Chain A
Amino acid sequence: MLYLALFLPQLSLEACAAESSNPAAVVDRRGTRRWIVGCNDAARAAGVRAGLEATMALAICPELQFLDRSPGNETQALRSLAAWAGQFSSWICFDRGRQLLWMEVGSSLKYFGGVERLLARVEDQLPELGHVADIGIAPTLEAAALFARSGQAAVREVGDLLPALAPLPLAELELDEDLKEILPDLGIRTVAELLALDRKSLARRFGAAALEYLDRLLGHIPDPRPNYRLPPRYSRRFELLGAVENVEGLLFPLRRMLVALQGYLVGRDSAVQEIDLRLQHEGTPPTLLKVRSTRPVRDAARMLALVRERLERAELKSPVVELQLLAQRLVPIGDTQLELIEGGSGLQESSWDELLDRLRARLGPSAVRQLGLRSDHRPEHAWCLVEGQQSSGQERSPERPLWLVPPTPLEQLPPSLGRPERIEAGWACGRDERRDYYIAEAPGGSRLWIFRDANLDRWFLQGLWA
């Protein structure tokens, strides 16, 4: 087993979208005490630090905006991160309180071409997800966590754990805080010094829990944890900092969600053809948007382009305070389709579909149409709109005009030319229709397709010889 741990020092902040040019900080509270657990760059520049009392922070930076820490949002963020991690591992677990996420990578190392390459891929994608993370790799969960927190290099073998752990300070160990305070008084400052004590005295002086933790750290005993099972669909809710009124402001968090969705889809060997967006407003009912694609997609940039077109068409009526992205129906894909979906193969057909998707996203799905034939003698029923793939119809009909207009009563009868074409049809609908069609010329030179309804004895215009 080999575990990769991600330590997310700014999780509380990242979960609240506190990216703003105005100083903002996340506060936690216990009783009447309120203290900073995370702050954005603007606040940090003003001198605000995690751990500060809220009142003290306000004294340093009077315009500081406080956000309450939200365990719900943090769990949402971790679930999304776990979904993304699905592309690297089938075994994932996370601990919100400790701001940690682990994935087992030993079984997929070969696929990714070694630890270095895997690390590079993880590190490349983390900023796109909007997370700052420290990474640790070790054969035990606790050692990986400890390496991530203390910025240590990766250790592959259990045998190499002890030398790597030995020089680490005790502050990062998952031990009782009170215990960590008294250890220096006993002359114990590093992991090596702690482990130099014999087990009996360790257990007696620091408790069985501490001994058990050290055993798990070193891989002396197993450390079973529940595997976080990836849900069958991807869903992410995101509360926005303040109300967002423009599409650009929504695209920023959406981009991150789509990067996570891409990772999730890769892990599940799937793609999507439909994404649901739910925009929550203050007071008014939510806006529900569907983003559709002709071909299955999973490339984050492509999904973002479709989402952007859809949002631009939607015209936000009121500011958005929360958004939710949902990918429900996954389309399993095989290796053969992969090239098409990932794009880059330069296939014309797929870029044509992409263009149509962009048009549909912006103009509405019914704005992009194809035509088909129907076997009906009545000219207005002899054609239809075709949804989706192929429109068909090859049979030739008698001469017909290229423009069709809905039958329009004629006030003045233009001079008609040639012999009539008799069309009788419509018995099936219970109406017996008899029409005589003529070609006529309007004063302006337009050639008209007109008919006399024999039952009504009235004349109608139905087409133009364009």
Chain B
Amino acid sequence: MMAEPSPVALPRPRAEQAIAELLHRSPHVWRGRGTAAAPAVATGFAALDRLLPGGGWPIGALTELCLAADGIGELRLLMPALRSLVQREGRPVVLVRPPHTPYAPALVNAGLPLRHLYWVHPATGDEAQWAAEQILRAGLAAAVLAWPCTRQRVPFRRLQLAAQDGKCLAFVYRSAQDLANPSPAAVRLLLHPAAGALRVDVVKARGGHGGTALCPLGRVP
């Protein structure tokens, strides 16, 4: 026989408040849209911020960026957030195994001081996975942008866990086809080219809204 649950000692309104506070404090508890206070960094695009949990790129969680073709503005989308992070905190930004050479003059133009930028380029996808995990877990970088180039699920789970440990921005670039596979990422975005802008479909947003935002990218068409 189970014992009868003892009555709650707290008066009812106070108990509810305490529970709400506890839930509020934990970013891992999903409580419907918009209510969890996930730590985030503003993206610099108001329309996108409105759709994301916490109002920006989530800190300590994986953000997945899926795109069909390179060169549509997939890096410029992150530049406002990276620029403000680097200039405010002076912590490094790390690119892990990007598909092309990050072009130094363009990075300077975008306002990223080169001394804070690291380009980690392991020979294999597995090593890239390992490197990204190490950097995320150390939690010293402002942001990690990774192109792990692997379709397995297990590594993404590990990256998500490492991102939780490290408390930095964690972006993973994948192909648009990979959207069909489930992913442990907190936020999944599908990026489409648009005239002078980037159209961002929020496919999944733990604690966010979902929807589509148009992010203007500036002078370059």
Contact = CB atoms under 8 A, between A and B. Distances in A.
A403 B110 CA distance: 13
B101 A405 contact: yes
Nearest to A446: B71
Interface stretch (A158-166, A213-221, A236-244, A354-362): A354-362
Given A405-B100, A447-B220, A371 B123 contact: no
> On chain B, which size bracket covers the interface?
35 or more
A369 B118 contact: yes
Nearest to A309: B134
Contact of A445 (B103, B138, B140, B193): B193
A interface: dominant SS:
mixed
Nearest to A363: B122
Nearest to B79: A402
Contact of A447 (B102, B115, B123, B221): B221
Contact of B221 (A356, A393, A441): A441
A366 to B, nearest CB: 8
B58 interface: no
B73 interface: yes
Contacts of A367: 120-123, 127, 131
A373 interface: yes
A402 to B, nearest CB: 5
Interface string B195-211: 00000000000000000
A395 B114 CA distance: 11
Interface stretch (A120-128, A145-153, A420-428, A458-466): A458-466
A403 B102 contact: yes
Contacts of B120: 359, 363, 367-369
A395 B113 CA distance: 11
A224 interface: no
Contact of B69 (A369, A383, A399, A445): A445
Nearest to A391: B114
B70 interface: yes
A362 B71 contact: no
A358 B137 CA distance: 13
A201 interface: no
B79 to A, nearest CB: 8
B104 A371 contact: yes
Given A359-B120, A403-B101, A447-B220, A351 B115 contact: no
Contacts of B92: 352
B105 A446 contact: no
Contacts of A363: 120, 122-123, 127, 131
Given A367-B121, A368-B120, A417-B221, A446 B108 contact: no
Interface string A367-395: 11111110000010011101000111111
Residue from A369, A402, A446, A463 having most chain B Cβ neighbours under 10 A: A402
B117 interface: yes
A405 B103 CA distance: 9
B72 interface: yes
Interface string B119-134: 1111100010011001
A464 B71 CA distance: 5
B104 A466 contact: no
B8 to A, nearest CB: 43
Nearest to A462: B103
B15 interface: no
Nearest to A390: B115
Contacts of A362: 127, 130-131
B71 A442 contact: yes
A418 interface: yes
A383 B122 contact: no
B110 A402 contact: yes
A372 B123 CA distance: 22
A367 B114 CA distance: 17
Contacts of B131: 359, 362-363, 367
Given A371-B117, A391-B115, A383 B140 contact: no
A402 B69 contact: no
Contacts of A444: 68-69, 193
A447 B117 CA distance: 24
Interface string B172-204: 000000000000000000001100000000000
B75 interface: yes
Contacts of A345: none
Contacts of A446: 69-72, 193
B109 interface: yes
B22 to A, nearest CB: 30
Given A367-B121, A371-B114, A397 B108 contact: yes
B127 A370 contact: no
A448 B72 CA distance: 9
B134 A370 contact: no
A401 B122 contact: no
A447 B121 contact: no
B214 interface: no
29 contacts: A351-B140, A368-B118, A370-B115, A370-B117, A371-B102, A371-B104, A379-B105, A383-B103, A386-B114, A390-B115, A393-B108, A400-B103, A401-B71, A402-B76, A403-B70, A403-B99, A404-B103, A441-B221, A444-B68, A446-B72, A447-B71, A448-B71, A465-B71, A465-B72, A465-B220, A466-B70, A466-B71, A466-B73, A466-B76
Given A355-B138, A363-B120, 10 more contacts: A352-B140, A359-B134, A362-B130, A367-B131, A370-B114, A393-B108, A399-B219, A439-B221, A446-B193, A465-B72
